[in-house]
Amino acid sequence: MKIEKINKDLEALYSANTKDINDYSSPIINKHREAAFNDFKKVGVPTKSNEDYKYTDLIPSFDKDYNVTFKPIDIQIKTENLFKCDVVRLDADVTLLSRGRYIEEKKIKEFPKGVIVASFNEAAKKYPEIFEKHYAKYGDTKDNSLYALNTAMAQDGIFIYFPKNSYTEKPIQIINLLVDEKGFFYNTRNLIIIEEAAEANLIFCDDSLSTGEFLGNTATEIYVGKNAKLNFYKIQNEHNESNNISSTYIYQDKDSVFHSGVYSLLGGIIRNNFNINLAEEGCESDLFGLSLVDKKQHTANFVHVNHSKSHCNSNQLFKTILDDNATGAFSGKVYVAKDAQQTNANQTNRNILLTNAAKMSTKPQLVIFADDVKCSHGATVGQLDEDAMFYMRARGIRKKEAKMLLMYAFANECIAAVKIDALRENIQDLAQRRLNGELSLCRNCSARVVNA
């Protein structure tokens, strides 16, 4: 069985490299590895017999020969023409990642008001107390074997810290660059801490700048403190052969606001897991998602929102447009605990199929134990509005153009929610070009990887 070989290979990979994995990292990170890997071994890479992965077949993603390295290598990427390649571009502070590593020269970037953007690995060494307080506290290795795998293997990524009352002038943009003709397997680990009353605007981009098969297994833990505000946006713009698995755990403290969007514009297999814990009263949590898939691509978004306490509001709006033989999945689970009175939880998933072969699976779930709540969920799978199409064509607008207008109108509801103006416009432009068939891999990109 393929899955057995895959799991054995991963176990062998871990065993063979345990020394390297541990040698370059802080004990704070290392101490979680063994237990995490044991949790991974119990389940392995999830297969279709796992309820949560019924519609996402990861075997083809894992059943390949990838390059992988646990030794620190010096990756240099020439980035003069980076933004020609459809990478989101705005007035922001940019930091680059590649292959699960922080690749800037300056390992710790200090901003005014004590804000820090740093290499995850270096930050663990330099800020052990903050790290210890939050690292591996919000994710669950028993519930998510790929997150467990990341916790066992990950060595680097991004560390972002906003102390009490802090903010930055410009948004912070983290770009994960996938550049390598040969392709590679990487585990990026991120830790984001937004402390009391701080305000942060974070943009995470996954961009592929070359062909080559990539498999990314990323994990991000986010702590949003009391009265803090975090705008967190993910833009995924890779290519047909890339595999992107991400697990994002968000812990919200009292009266915090988390406003987030994930825009999966192009990829091979994309699987985004979101787990939001509204741990205290008065939280506001909004999550938007837009997936555009065609050919044989697959995008799955799995969201779990946990209302532990009263007076919290959560909203989810996920939309997918599927063309050709593409497939998609959405699962939105909202759990409302017995004491979480006066909860307002809304969940909507809307999907458009452009062909008979495209397929979307959607599962809204509400588990409610409190009795004074307002919860709603809705899911639709349909086609473009025929009446609207006829109306436009009856005014002389050609079928192709009319289709574009409708698809863009559908997608834009999720993009319009982005609170950073320049980012919203960027995504609107990228989405339009994607729908037009113009978003393709930059063949002539001058960004190349130079290994030391």
Partner 1 sequence: MKQDNIRGLKSLICNVSYLISKSLKKMLKIKNLKAEINGKEILKGINLEIKAGEVHAIMGPNGSGKSTLSAVIAGNENFKVTEGEITYQGINLLELPVEERAAMGIFLGFQYPIEIPGVSMVNFIKTAVNEQRKVQGKDPLTAAQFLKLMREKKDLVEIGEKLTNRSVNEGFSGGEKKKNEIFQMAMLEPKLAILDETDSGLDIDALRIVANGVNKLKKPDTSTIVITHYQRLLDFIVPDIVHILYNGRIVKTAGKELALTLEEKGYDWIKEQVDGKK
Least distance between partner 1 and beta carbon 385 (Å): 7
Least distance between partner 1 and beta carbon 432 (Å): 12
Least distance between partner 1 and beta carbon 435 (Å): 13
Exposure string over 230-263, b if 16+ CB within 10 A, otherwise e = bbbbbbbbbbbbbbbbbbbbbbbbbbbbbbbbbb
Distances (CA, A) of 73 to 24, 78, 320: 11, 16, 38
User: Counting every residue, how long is the chain?
Assistant: 452
Residue 278 and residue 252 in contact, taking contact as beta carbons nearer than 8 Å: yes
Q: Strands 158-162, 116-119: parallel, antiparallel or unpaired by DSSP?
A: antiparallel
Contact residues for partner 1, defined by CB under 8 A:
385, 387-388, 390-399, 401-402, 405-406, 408-410, 412-413
Distance CA 278, CA 140 (A): 16
Distance CA 424, CA 418 (A): 5
Least distance between partner 1 and beta carbon 350 (Å): 12
Least distance between partner 1 and beta carbon 351 (Å): 16
As beta bridge partners, residue 364 has: 332
Distance CA 127, CA 243 (A): 32
Distance CA 335, CA 343 (A): 10
Tracing tokens 């030794």 back to the chain, one arrives at 71
Least distance between partner 1 and beta carbon 265 (Å): 18
User: For residues 12 and 409, which CB has a smaller minimum distance to partner 1 in the complex?
Assistant: 409
Distance CA 64, CA 184 (A): 10
Q: What is the dihedral of CA 87, 88, 90, 93, to 10 degrees?
A: -80
Least distance between partner 1 and beta carbon 420 (Å): 21
Distance CA 46, CA 245 (A): 12
User: For residues 174 and 392, which CB has a smaller minimum distance to partner 1 in the complex?
Assistant: 392
181 Cα distance to chain centroid: 23
In terms of Cα–Cα distance, which of 221, 154, 157 is closest to 194?
Answer: 221
Least distance between partner 1 and beta carbon 415 (Å): 11
Residue 299 and residue 291 in contact, taking contact as beta carbons nearer than 8 Å: yes
**Which tokens belong to 85?**
């390649």
412 Cα distance to chain centroid: 19
User: For residues 51 and 387, which CB has a smaller minimum distance to partner 1 in the complex?
Assistant: 387
User: For residues 185 and 410, which CB has a smaller minimum distance to partner 1 in the complex?
Assistant: 410
Least distance between partner 1 and beta carbon 213 (Å): 36
Residue 240 and residue 270 in contact, taking contact as beta carbons nearer than 8 Å: no
User: For residues 405 and 445, which CB has a smaller minimum distance to partner 1 in the complex?
Assistant: 405
User: For residues 62 and 410, which CB has a smaller minimum distance to partner 1 in the complex?
Assistant: 410
In 121-183, the DSSP E strands lie at 158-162, 172-178
Burial of 452 (0-12, 13-18, 19+ CB in 10 A): exposed
User: For residues 18 and 412, which CB has a smaller minimum distance to partner 1 in the complex?
Assistant: 412
User: For residues 298 and 319, which CB has a smaller minimum distance to partner 1 in the complex?
Assistant: 319
User: For residues 395 and 443, which CB has a smaller minimum distance to partner 1 in the complex?
Assistant: 395
User: For residues 222 and 414, which CB has a smaller minimum distance to partner 1 in the complex?
Assistant: 414
User: For residues 369 and 391, which CB has a smaller minimum distance to partner 1 in the complex?
Assistant: 391
Least distance between partner 1 and beta carbon 395 (Å): 4
Least distance between partner 1 and beta carbon 318 (Å): 16
